[in-house]
Amino acid sequence: MSVSAGTPDHPLRVVIVGSGPSGFYAAGHLLKIKDLDVEVDMIDSLPTPFGLVRAGVAPDHPKIKSVIRVYEKTAANPSFRYFGNVLVGRDISHGELKDRYHAVIYAVGAQTDRQLNIPGEDLHGSFAATEFVAWYNAHPEFCDREFDLSCRRAVVIGNGNVAMDVARMLVLPRAELETTDTADHAIEALSGCAIEEVVILGRRGPAQAAFTNPELLELGDLTEADVIVDPSELELDEHSQRAIDAAGELTARKNVEILREFAAREPRGKPKRVVLRFLRSPVAIHGNGRVESVEVVHNELEHGGEGRLRAQATGRHETIEAGIVFRSIGYKGVPIEGVHFDDWKGTIPNEEGRIVDPETERSIPGEYVVGWIKRGPSGVIGTNKRDAQETVDHVIEDLNEDRLPAPVDRDRDALAALIAERAPDHVTYSGWQLIDAAEKAAGEPQGRPRVKFTRVEQMLDAARVKTRA
Ligand code: NAP
């Protein structure tokens, strides 16, 4: 390779901001390239790595979390370093990173929620599902959230896998929660909760639901809740029928089959119910100071262009009484100072992972994205592997074609020194390993995978143990 960097004397220096799946896959791909000397630094705002694998994946899905083993192998590479508890934009700027690396890859995900823009959305008792998910997963910024679960009915708006996770978590019995790494505060709150019915609202029909087959099937196997589907809401219009009959629509076809099986079931007399409703859009959340009901309009489907069937409101309205609402209609990225951002899409503008200046429409040398901040909040964890490969291929192409800017400061220790000065409480990968070991040790006597720390201070204390000893 005719390269200006990537040799033992002059390694390619890459920093990845964000330590979730897309960031770790990008690191893994870079570190596997033959005949290329590369040094990868990873920065995360939390002391703990792994992004949504730690703070998003439902605690009752431990198998999904086992993907962490792949990331641990990447982290074991001597050319990899981790700097947790460091916030880009506060502790270190985008410009300072650019001065020290050939390439900066943003892997920051989509950290906030999309808005419904309906009256009552901000009433007390109306929450973004993203907050609830982060709360039950012990994300330190969400641990002080309070969810009043003393009502009988909850409404979950949206038909994606996050809606499935939220609905399941609301009806899992204590005995099942106690075998997981659900935050202790959430186990207490969820086990004592009064919710007997969770209504999941899809604005389109069963054939357009975004959830996947295994997640839907799980609703049929809940220990304490019957799954309820009204057969009349499963009647497909001709467009939906044609869509699921088309080749390649396996998930949608199977979803409809599963839902029909649910609809044909006699309720088994379980104490709780998860009710799936379709073709219903929320138009307002009502209540005197707090959520008391959700007003929905019945929809029909019509062609919305690009082969997509969209929900069109009819004049029929219905009111569903509920004391709590979870808006689960998708995540949204947040801007980083100094980096271009597309507000409408909630992503960083890019072409196949190369960040693009929207004004000139040209890629910016040395700036890249991977994962949800690149393509929006879609796909499963594995989707990020391919996605990161595409970006890394472009980094290497740019390196080979001499398009990468040379760092002003090439010293590997310079970044560590700067971080030590700006963020003295940063956590290295060995610090994380101490946190990990402490959490696992706390979980072991209870037969749980771990008991998660809920406070950054607790994490920092655990990470410091070795230094103190
Ligand atoms: P999602 O899959 O994009 O689903 C969002 C849902 O919200 C869709 O049903 C969408 O309906 C609906 N929606 C959007 N705007 C709406 C509005 N204004 N009113 C009513 N409904 C609205 O998002 P997600 O559930 O947040 O999941 C994000 C990604 O993570 C997905 O790729 C998901 O598969 C993945 N994930 C996977 C797992 C797992 O593998 N177990 C678990 C959790 C999440 P339309 O289709 O009509 O737009």
Domains of the chain: total: 2
284: three-class secondary structure by DSSP: strand
My answer on whether 162 and 303 are in the same domain is: yes
468 is a domain residue:
no
Q: 22 pLDDT exceeds 60?
A: yes
Per the listing, tokens 């393509």 go with 375
Backbone angles phi, psi at 17, to 5 degrees: -100, 110
Q: What is the pLDDT of residue 465?
A: 75
pLDDT in tens, 252-287: 999 999 999 999 999 999 999 999 999 999 999 999
Whole-number pLDDT of residue 262: 98
Encode pLDDT of 39-67 as tens digits: 999 999 999 999 999 999 999 999 999 99
**C-alpha to C-alpha distance for 81 and 19, rounded to whole angstroms:** 11
Question: How far does the centroid of ligand 1 lie from the alpha carbon of residue 25, in Å?
Answer: 23
Mean pLDDT across 389-400:
98
How many whole angstroms from 202 Cα to the centroid of ligand 1? 10
**What's the 128 CA to ligand 1 centre distance in angstroms?**
13
How far from chain centre, in Å, is Cα 251?
21
Average pLDDT across the chain, whole number: 95
Where does a domain end: 329, 364, 387? 329
What is the CB-side half-sphere exposure of residue 89 using CA atoms within 13 A?
13
* Co-location of 351 and 284 in the same domain: no
166-205 residue pLDDT tens:
999 999 999 999 999 999 999 999 999 999 999 999 999 9
210 and 315 belong to one structural domain: yes
Instruction: Calculate helix-pair angle for 161-171, 129-136, nearest 10 degrees.
Output: 50
Q: How confident is the model at residue 466 (pLDDT cuts 50, 70, 90)?
A: low
For residue 108, pLDDT beyond 80: yes
Whether residue 106 is predicted with pLDDT greater than 90 in this model: the reply is yes
From 329, 354, 374, the end of a domain falls on 329
Strands 324-327 and 309-321: unpaired
- Which pair of tokens denotes residue 56? 């998003």
Q: Is residue 147 part of a domain?
A: yes
Based on the fold, state whether residues 151 and 72 are members of the same structural domain.
no
pTM over the 0.85 mark: yes
**72 contact partners, CB below 8 Å, separation of at least 6:** none
Q: Cα–Cα distance between 407 and 374 in angstroms, integer? A: 24
- Ligand 1, residues at Cβ distance < 6 Å: 116, 157-163, 165, 202-204, 208, 210, 215, 281, 328-331, 377-380
Q: Say if residue 99 is in the same domain as residue 127.
A: no
Neighbours of 394 (CB within 10 A): 19
Q: Count of alpha carbons within 13 Å of 381, Cβ hemisphere only?
A: 22
Is the pLDDT at 294 greater than 70? The verdict is yes
Q: Which atom of ligand 1 is nearest to the CA of 329?
A: 7
Helix (H, G, I), strand (E, B) or coil at 344: coil
pLDDT 10s digits, 225-257: 999 999 999 999 998 998 898 877 899 999 999
Enclosing domain of residue 37: 12-111+332-426
pLDDT at 304 over 90: no
Atom of ligand 1 nearest to the CA of 331: 26
Region 56-85: mean pLDDT is 97
The residue among 303, 329, 355 that closes a domain is 329
Residues 184 and 270 in one domain: yes
Task: Look at residue 360 and tell me whether its pLDDT is greater than 70.
Answer: yes
Helix, strand, coil share (%) of the chain residues, nearest 5: 35, 20, 40
Judge if 142 and 25 occupy the same domain: no
CB 379 within 8 A of CB 162: no
Give burial (CB, 10 Å; 0-12/13-18/19+) of 248: exposed
The CATH number covering residue 271 comes to 3.50.50.60
* Same domain as 245, residue 125: yes
DSSP track, 126-159 = EEEHHHHHHHHTT-TTTTT------SSEEEEE--
How large a percentage of the chain has pLDDT more than 90? 93
pLDDT at position 207 over 60: yes
Q: What is the pLDDT of residue 468?
A: 46
Q: How far apart are CA 323 and CA 154, in angstroms?
A: 6
> Does the pLDDT value for residue 410 go beyond 90?
no
Atom of ligand 1 nearest to the CA of 204: 47
| Strand ranges across the sheet with 272-277 | 126-128, 324-327, 153-157, 197-201, 272-277, 225-229
Residue 308 has pLDDT above 90, yes or no: no
Distance from the alpha carbon of residue 296 to the mean position of ligand 1, in angstroms:
19
- How far is residue 153 from each of residues 59, 68, 125, 227, 323, measured CA to CA in Å? 23, 36, 12, 14, 6
In a domain, 324, yes or no: yes
Determine which of 32-36, 233-237, 252-256, 412-416 has the lowest per-residue pLDDT on average. Answer: 412-416
Whether residue 267 is contained in a domain is answered as yes
